[in-house]
Structure 1
């Protein structure tokens, strides 16, 4: 099959969506398909800036949310134009967001939509939209239209499937997030070199937060838990890899708690270097929280850490509860509970054998249940269904 993957977002970029697209393409190509990707970042720079980003920025100055809606709609139009201009004949399109779905459907090519989250709720969560505003309601209606118009809808977890059924009365398929297990595998020999490369002290226990710095990712809570951890384990460093609007808040909080010396911000880290950081870590933290109706899906960061045989502590919400079994292949703690998080961290730091046991079982689970090749096969079947 000739398959086109579309999105109005930038690709590649920091975050799970980009990882999903990269890994899905790899799996589909391994199965013998031709796969291309069309994203907003591949469009001409002057069109991106002058027709979408700049006007959207200015409109937001007038009314919060209006620029976001304008920007998304303009991205849809630009993407639709590019799809129609493509000379190559595609059998099927796999759109990765509602606006890419609406743009792809215009081409007349059968379109499968993969839904990674709650589009309007997530825009509210990151401050791009005001809840229940005119723009928020319009985007919810566009969500419904996209789900109902696609030839097939695929979700990455059961909660999102239920949400779509409630919103659009559509029965979606669920294909959980996945990873290339062969790419994220334990290579402990590189541990010391990775720490040197990123200037992470070799003698300290490393707590790693591989998250975009947004409210729903709960990135503030490891910082709030750190003082208690440092009381019992003073040789500990908290390392963040990611960017986002919460960065300044984290830096200010670290300074106010007088723990800046024990916190390291790496900024954006290339995808191909992330597995080295997982392996260099003593514990990986996925502290996601409910935010304006949004909760974590099947976190790719958690899957990557587990595949690298890194002990994982995560919030007991959403898709994280579908990945981890508390006390068997990781630890789950109550969201926003800094005391519970600190206690879980201290437990694993005190008992490295227990931590290693959890991590080993997690790796076995990744190999048996979350392979990108088996996910690619399921997507292939979805494409065949819409073609038939």
Structure 2
């Protein structure tokens, strides 16, 4: 088949959706399909600013939420034109990766299936882009429902989102949990010293790595709150974040308040391939997600990548994380927002590196058996075929 993956967001960009698209493309191509990607990044920046970002900024001054709606509509129109300009490539199907990419593909007249990665309206509220219970939040929710009902097939990245689609729109989706390229993310700890030298990390530091977009639902402030207790026992512990987002300034203030500037490093967004190097140089990976405005973590790609990379994982027991991590078998689960419990788990894995190594080995075995990108691509292929009947 000739398959187009489409999104109104930037591609590539740091974040789970972009990683999903890259990995799905690799899996589908491994199965012999031709796969292209179109995104808003294929539009010149000047055009994006003129038609989407500029007006969005101004409209948000009038009423919070109006800007994001304008931006999504403008992105949809630009993506639709891109798809129409590429119709000569005779794609068999478009797999839209978000609500407005679904509308762009449908209005371009192509067979469309949609992957649902989360909850568009609730996530906008959680990020502070839209006010809760506002007309704008209601509008975004209505557009979600419309997209679910108009697309040929709905794919969700976990069971909870499948339940959400059914409840909101009466549409029975197909749950395919997120996955990773198991050939790309694999144990590489033999290069720990090399990567520490490359990234200027002391060889004897105890490194906790947080590969997370800096947004509220990802719980990124909680490792900071938990860290003073860890430092009492392990003064050479370091906390390293890779990611960007609206929580950055609050994190910086919190770090300064607690005098943790010498122990916490904020890398900002880094290339996805470089994430692998930080997994390899780390002692423990943290995925501290929380419930926020009705939003919770799906099948976290960051958690899967950590587990595939042979690094011990500590995650909060929310959403899809509870589905992929078995406590004390292939990782540790802690209660969300529980600063004391997170501190104790962090100290536990530094106190007992043998336990951490065993958890990591078990996690790698699980990833190979259950979260392969090629196996997931086969499931997507079957849904594409059923949508074309």
What is the TM-score with the length of structure 2 in the denominator? 0.99
Rounded Cα–Cα distance in structure 2 between residues aligned with 1:200 and 1:129: 39
Report the alpha carbon displacement of residue 107 of structure 1 after superposing the two structures with TM: 2.2
Report the alpha carbon displacement of residue 82 of structure 1 after superposing the two structures with TM: 1.5
Rounded Cα–Cα distance in structure 2 between residues aligned with 1:292 and 1:123: 9
Match of 2:179 in 1: 178
- How many pairs were matched up? 388
Report the alpha carbon displacement of residue 338 of structure 1 after superposing the two structures with TM: 0.5
Rounded Cα–Cα distance in structure 2 between residues aligned with 1:113 and 1:378: 14
Report the alpha carbon displacement of residue 46 of structure 1 after superposing the two structures with TM: 2.8
Report the alpha carbon displacement of residue 238 of structure 1 after superposing the two structures with TM: 0.5
Match of 2:157 in 1: 156
Gaps of 5+ in 1: none
Rounded Cα–Cα distance in structure 2 between residues aligned with 1:42 and 1:4: 14
CA contact (8 A) 1:92 1:112 kept: yes
Gaps of 5+ in 2: none
Report the alpha carbon displacement of residue 220 of structure 1 after superposing the two structures with TM: 0.3
Superimposed CA distance per residue, residues 57-100 of structure 1 (whole angstroms, 9 cap, x where no aligned partner): 11111111101100001111111122112121110000000000
CA contact (8 A) 1:198 1:266 kept: no
- Residue 383 in 1 paired to residue 369 in 2? no
Match of 1:221 in 2: 222
State which drifts further: 100-109 or 378-387. 100-109
- Residue 25 in 1 paired to residue 25 in 2? yes
Q: What root-mean-square deviation, in Å, do the aligned CA atoms of Structure 1 and Structure 2 show?
A: 0.8
Rounded Cα–Cα distance in structure 2 between residues aligned with 1:170 and 1:6: 21
Rounded Cα–Cα distance in structure 2 between residues aligned with 1:194 and 1:54: 41
Rounded Cα–Cα distance in structure 2 between residues aligned with 1:93 and 1:33: 13
Q: Aligned runs of 1:64-103 on 2, under 5 Å? A: 64-86=64-86, 87-103=88-104
- Residue 3 in 1 paired to residue 7 in 2? no
Match of 1:132 in 2: 133
Superimposed CA distance per residue, residues 203-230 of structure 1 (whole angstroms, 9 cap, x where no aligned partner): 1100110001100000000000000111
Rounded Cα–Cα distance in structure 2 between residues aligned with 1:122 and 1:324: 24
Rounded Cα–Cα distance in structure 2 between residues aligned with 1:26 and 1:291: 32
Report the alpha carbon displacement of residue 128 of structure 1 after superposing the two structures with TM: 0.7
Rounded Cα–Cα distance in structure 1 between residues aligned with 2:34 and 2:193: 39
- Residue 204 in 1 paired to residue 219 in 2? no
Rounded Cα–Cα distance in structure 1 between residues aligned with 2:263 and 2:79: 44
Rounded Cα–Cα distance in structure 2 between residues aligned with 1:200 and 1:123: 36
